[in-house]
Amino acid sequence: MPADEPAKPKVRAITAFLKLDRARYREQVQDTSQILRRAKRMIEAGGYQVEGVRITTQPFPDYTRGLSRLDVLRFFRDYDALAIHYSLAANIGPAMLRDADDPSQAQTLAEILSATKSLEASLVIAGEDGIQWKCIEAAATLVKFVEEHSPGSAANFNFAATAMLAPDAPFYPGSYHVGDGRRFAIGTEGANVVDRVFSQTSGNAPMATERLTQELNAHAVAIEKLALQIQKKTGWTYMGIDATPAPLREVSIGAAIEKFTGSRFGSSGAMTAAAAITKAVQSVPVKRIGYSGLMLPVMEDSLHAQRWSEGTYDVDVLLAYSAVCGAGLDTIPMAGDVATLAFKWRKPLTARLLPVKGKKVGDRTEFEDPFLVNTLIRLVP
């Protein structure tokens, strides 16, 4: 390796898992906010920049039981304002975990997402028992409602249909909790680490995998040591690290893959690069949680958004890559068959689809969210 300063991942999120009690939720959020700020200071003192802190709860129907629809909406407007006040990202858990759950909760979630600014949530479309077709139908109906009723159709960015994703994952919006709270997990943002390694190992998959494993291992071990200190100081239980090298706009995983393949994303070699990244992530010698693979979000990565507009890859390509990594269909304005693939391979996948009201194939999206890169709306094959 060159003697220059090694690339260092950021911590995308420190996510606290809370069993919310409606009777004292304000106190809980305030206390958890203090814990998260303390954890952030400790990780930054250890040399890693922290992008943000988050709170994830159990499925929201658990703590809104007995409220009228209007009271539920009123409660979450207040909860949304509270999260914004404390500069927290807030996830209210899935509307449905299984087909036996009440599908009206999915409609309630659609209204919550459409009426709030920052809340995130999910719906589980496949689990250990198989594909959940009623949940899939409920998720599709929810996405359509949010497209039509949220300002600029933007709130679907805060929703995901998830498959085979276990509780206590730190990344949003699929994160959820089912325990007694007082737990936390960490998600990293390490596309820059992949970029550095791939720029030095172009085309050499064994060397790329070995070197990427070494670098990710070193950072994961260092971050876990800090997490265990947080556990000791706060009494909150450390659940693990999701070392998936998440991209963010110009910190592009797509650009890293192109340095490895020497060609545009979607060309031959990209699946090999995806497999190398996934193997390295799943080799880190720490407590792993969440996706622990590879994210290829079309509209959160500037290179991916550009190549999507150019047509170098499509939904089928992303689903093919999902066979060797944790991509799924993320931040694209179209649908796909994600649940079947996730259940077949027993791996966590996500669908986060962003249909835009009033837009047609060939138009460009016009989202104002700073985390999204606008791109072309293309036809679903």
**Across the 381 residues of the chain, what is the mean pLDDT of every consecutive 10-residue run?**
68 97 96 97 96 97 96 97 97 96 97 97 92 93 92 93 94 95 96 93 90 94 97 97 91 93 89 90 92 89 93 88 74 56 68 86 89 86 68
User: Cα(233)–Cα(37) distance, rounded to whole angstroms?
Assistant: 13
Q: What is the pLDDT of residues 39-63, one digit of tens each?
A: 999 999 999 999 999 999 999 999 9
pTM of the predicted model, to two decimals? Answer: 0.90
CATH of the domain at 113: 3.20.70.20
Question: For residue 128, what are the contacts with CB-CB under 8 A and spacing of at least 6?
Answer: 164
d(CA 38, CA 56): 17
Phi, psi dihedral angles at 10 (to 5 degrees): -85, 165
Cα–Cα distance list, 220 to 10, 173, 187, 245 (Å): 11, 23, 10, 11
Domain interval for residue 41: 1-381
Question: Could you tell me if 372 and 300 are in contact, meaning their C-beta atoms sit under 8 angstroms apart?
Answer: yes
Per-residue pLDDT tens digits for 75-104: 999 999 999 999 999 999 999 999 999 999
Listing DSSP states for 113-162 in one string gives HHH-SS-EEEEEEEETTEE-HHHHHHHHHHHHHHHHHSGGGGGGGGEEEE
How much of the chain is helix, strand and coil, in % rounded to 5? 45, 15, 40
Q: What is the pLDDT of residue 315?
A: 85
Distance CA 112, CA 233 (A): 36
Total domain count, the chain: 1
What length does the chain have?
381
* pLDDT for 378: 85
